[in-house]
Chain A
Amino acid sequence: MIPDRIIEQGTLTTDGTRSAVEVRIPWYRALPGSCISEVSFSVDGVPAPAESLRWTMNGRTFRLADLADDIEQWWFPVDSAVVSGDIPVTTGADDHRVDVELKLYIPYIVIDGDQVLRIEERDSKTMPAMTTEVAA
């Protein structure tokens, strides 16, 4: 569902060792942190190591493992979250290919017994990188 909306064009930033991009929820309604199942982020085919990934929403930065229990912080449909991770990227005019995959639990759609639907959506966009501080 609207996977083409995941990556916000023109939002790739880097501090030289860590990089970040803004992402939008590929769903029509807000979901809490607990529903953010898996995130992957890569630039020019280089994936951020899983343990280096951070998720920033509502002004707070989380390790993905810490989102699993969080039903207080919600990802609202018109708000960007920021995904960041250890990927060295060069700044300048050169374009970089950004890939993000999101797996989200949909908490009201029970598909089998005690399992709820998990959607898997991916997006790929090309953009230059800007220099800035990146959440760690």
Chain B
Amino acid sequence: MSLGAPIQGVTLYSFTRAFHGREYDLEQLLRKVADDGYGPGLEIVGYSSFRGFPAIDDAFAERFRELVDELGLVQTSLAINADIGIHRDRLLTDDELIEYMRPQIEAAAKLGFPIARVQISLEPDSMERLAPLAEKNGVTLALEVHADQYASHPRILALRDRYEKVGSPFLGFTADWGATTSGFAPSLIEAYRRRGASDELLAQVVALWDEFSQEGPPADQADHGQRFGRFTALGAQSGRPDLGIDFAINGTGLFGPARVDDWLEIMPWIRHIHGKFFGIDETGEEPSVPVRDLIRLFVENGYNGAISSEYEGWHWNNWQSAFEIVGGEQAVQRSAARDAGSQMVTDAVTARPQLHRWLSERSETKPTTTGARA
């Protein structure tokens, strides 16, 4: 198999603090992304960036597409939401959820995004039923595999098997690297330290995560619950029950313990990637996400889609610039791609037709484990 050359990109989600804090409006943020070179790939969360989403008026869509063109960016994914719990008293039925997705998929097409990131509440039957709508709109539905799920999770394998049966090139996955992390993020540990947690307690948190990581993803919901309980107990025993809940939510939900080569289970159906990460350390590396191993795996498996750098550390890191941190992580990606004998695509002229080809050709090749390190 020939090596892949993934398209570098970013999701504006990485810059939530700057947008939410009214430091940059949408246009200013797009210009910043272009000026600083975080593209060319551009991903946006519909309900974050577009007021009134999923209603998008024609004039706005036209201005938006012109701006993206002017800036030399390449639209990759519009992240849309399966808000199954939007009613207070009940979940949406499958029929209702499908209708809920429809205007969002149409908005993706109108705005010019070739991919819509969708979410786990959509069952295999619903994805199958959405395929004709995806095809009609020319929008690939890439269901996000996000911690605490992972590629070999039964729900994901059920989707994969259905995709194989349906055979539509418009159904696939978004691989979120948060499913395959290698440690509890040091920047979050630092944030807990700033909230008064002792070094002893924090060492216990890190050790507990490492213990669970050795065991791999939880076997079932009961196992998940036990892990959750052990994190909360650490906080309670140290007189910090508030932090205990936080340890548990993040330790079991944010930092997924699956192995890097778990992605091979669904590799031919991965159409888009969230390069989820949490920080860059003083050596210029990501200390808790194995970015280099992940890039090698995807390059060696011929991945030519986009990788949206998705910085999540902004939740707790209010002492460093998200812009600089994203720049640092993308430097790691480029270095890793070169080490794997390839490169990241960083120019729009190459990226635009490459993404189009990537989404129009259904992968027929089997994944390879060669070079997968983890």
A residues near B (Cβ < 8 Å) are 1-2, 4-5, 24, 28-30, 32, 34-35, 68-69, 71, 74, 76-78, 105-110, 114-116
At the interface, yes or no: B47 with Cβ under 8 Å from chain A? yes
Residues from chain B with Cβ under 8 Å of A32 in the complex = 86
Task: List 8 A-B pairs, minimum CB-CB distance, nearest first.
Answer: A116-B85, A107-B83, A29-B47, A107-B85, A29-B48, A107-B86, A28-B16, A30-B47
- Measured CB to CB, the closest approach of chain B to A73, in angstroms, equals 11
Main secondary structure of the interface of B (DSSP, over half): loop
Complex interface: chain B residues within 8 A of A1 (CB)? 315
Q: A2-B315, A30-B47, A108-B81 are in contact. Are A114 and B90 (CB under 8 A)?
A: yes
Give Cα A102–Cα B87 distance, bound, in whole angstroms.
Answer: 18
Verify B48–A28 contact, CB threshold 8 A.
yes
Near A by CB (< 8 A), chain B positions 62-99 give 81-88, 90-91
Contact partners of A116 in chain B: CB under 8 A: 84-85
Q: Is B20 an interface residue (CB 8 A)?
A: yes
B255 to A: closest C-beta gap in Å = 16
Chain A contacts of B362 at CB under 8 A? none
Q: Which B positions have Cβ atoms within 8 angstroms of A?
A: 13, 16-17, 19-22, 25, 45, 47-48, 51-53, 81-88, 90-91, 119, 121, 315, 318
With A29-B81, A32-B86, A114-B90 given, is the CB distance from A108 to B119 under 8 Å? yes
Question: Which of these, A28, A71, A110, contacts B91 with CB under 8 Å?
Answer: A110
Tell me whether B84 and A108 are in contact (CB under 8 A): yes
Whether B119 lies near A114 (C-beta < 8 A) is no
B160–chain A nearest beta-carbon distance, Å: 20
A34 and B88 contact, Cβ closer than 8 Å, known pairs A107-B83, A108-B83? yes
Given A2-B315, A29-B48, A114-B90, A78:B85 Cβ within 8 A: no
Once the chains bind, are A77 and B19 in contact (CB under 8 Å)?
yes
> Contact check: which of A24, A78, A105, A106 meets B88 at CB < 8 Å?
A105
Residue of A nearest to B249 (CB): A117
Taking CB as reference atom, which chain A residue is nearest B90?
Answer: A114
**Shortest distance between the CB of A117 and any CB in chain B (Å):** 8
A34 touches B86 (CB 8 A): yes
- When distances are taken between beta carbons in the complex, the residues of chain B under 8 Å from A76 are 51
Query: Is the Cβ of A107 less than 8 Å from the Cβ of B16?
Result: no
Is there contact, CB below 8 Å, between A35 and B90?
no
In angstroms, Cα B24 to Cα A77, docked, is: 13
Instruction: Return chain A residues, CB-CB under 8 Å to B47.
Output: 29-30, 74
Q: A30-B47, A30-B48, A78-B22 are in contact. Are A2 and B83 (CB under 8 A)?
A: no
Chain A residues in 8 Å Cβ range of B20: 2, 5, 24, 28, 77-78
With contact pairs A29-B47, A78-B22, A108-B83 given, residues A69 and B88 touching in the complex (Cβ less than 8 Å):
yes
What is the distance, in angstroms, from A127's C-beta to the closest C-beta of chain B? 18
Tell whether, in the assembled complex, residue A29 and residue B45 are in contact, meaning their CB atoms are under 8 Å apart: yes
Give the residues in chain B near A2, CB-CB below 8 Å.
16-17, 20, 315
Q: Considering the chains assembled together, what is the distance between the CA atoms of A68 and B90 in angstroms? A: 12
Q: Name the residue in A24, A34, A78 with the highest tally of chain B Cβ atoms < 10 Å from its Cβ.
A: A78
Smallest beta-carbon distance A9→chain B, Å = 12
| Chain B residues within an 8 Å CB radius of A5 | 20-21
Do A114 and B91 contact each other (CB < 8 Å), given the known contacts A76-B51, A108-B121?
Answer: yes
Bound: A32/B87 CA distance, A? 10
Question: CA A108 – CA B45 in complex, angstroms?
Answer: 14
**B85 CB contacts on chain A under 8 angstroms:** 105-110, 114-116
- Besides A34-B86, A34-B87, A108-B119, 18 more A-B contacts (Cβ < 8 Å) are A2-B17, A2-B20, A2-B315, A4-B318, A5-B20, A28-B20, A29-B81, A30-B47, A30-B53, A32-B86, A74-B47, A74-B52, A106-B85, A107-B83, A108-B81, A108-B121, A114-B90, A116-B85
**Nearest CB of A to B244, in Å:** 15
Inter-chain contact B121/A110, CB cutoff 8 Å: yes
Nearest CB to that of B225 among chain A residues? A112
